[in-house]
Chains A and B, each alone.
Chain A
């Protein structure tokens, strides 16, 4: 069964600190992996998208890594800001899949 598991479920950090969110998947055959940021009650906003040949991709203070062998991805947030408080969702699509498989998300709260 295609699954995407994210950890931790929730996280609280102080402003200015770094954090790393994890995404493990069992989707096969793999096509690409995306990270999204979702503010409460809004549609998700794309942060990064990676194919199996890409190990790392950055978007400002966000850096995503992908290990296609171990089927793991991480999202690293540097120098966190209060506006980073949101849910971060990992989405994996299969090469022959008809469905995008969403993780449950990690809820990040940045405190001042």
Chain B
């Protein structure tokens, strides 16, 4: 079955460490997204990518980095520069960002990853 997979589900980071969250999809989707969610808050966009080898900063990109070397993979690295990384991280994908009007496509979400600083 097609879907989007995030791993790990739970991750602990020590101060000063970089950690990488994995996001893989087998849906042949062009666009992939990373969001951060703090307790009781909404989703905030970190980075997104519409095509392989290209990605754009979202609203809260500082302290994060991404790569899109393959269509199916969009890993997120939380660097030591991110001072408050404890949060829930969601990856999403959609088959194409439409440039002409047509009914919207389905957004697929991963199950999320909890990152805690210890």
Q: Which of A's residues lie within 8 Å of B, judged by CB?
A: 6, 31-32, 34, 41-44, 46, 49, 51, 89, 91, 93, 95-100, 102-105, 107
Cα-based distance from A44 to B90 in the complex (angstroms):
9
B58, B104, B112: the one within 8 Å of A93 (CB): B104
Cα-based distance from A96 to B90 in the complex (angstroms):
23
Q: Which of B's residues lie within 8 Å of A, judged by CB?
A: 33, 35, 40-45, 48, 50, 56, 58, 88, 90, 92, 94, 97-101, 103-104, 106-107, 109-112, 114
Residue with the highest number of chain A CB atoms closer than 10 Å, among B44, B58, B104: B104
Q: Is the CB of B42 within 8 A of A51?
A: no
Given A89-B43, A105-B42, is A99 in contact with B48 using a C-beta cutoff of 8 Å?
Answer: yes
Q: Is the CB of A34 within 8 A of B107?
A: yes
Q: Is the CB of A107 within 8 A of B35?
A: no
Cα-based distance from A46 to B106 in the complex (angstroms):
8
Q: Return the chain B residue nearest A101 by Cβ.
A: B45
Given A89-B43, A99-B58, is A41 in contact with B103 using a C-beta cutoff of 8 Å?
Answer: no
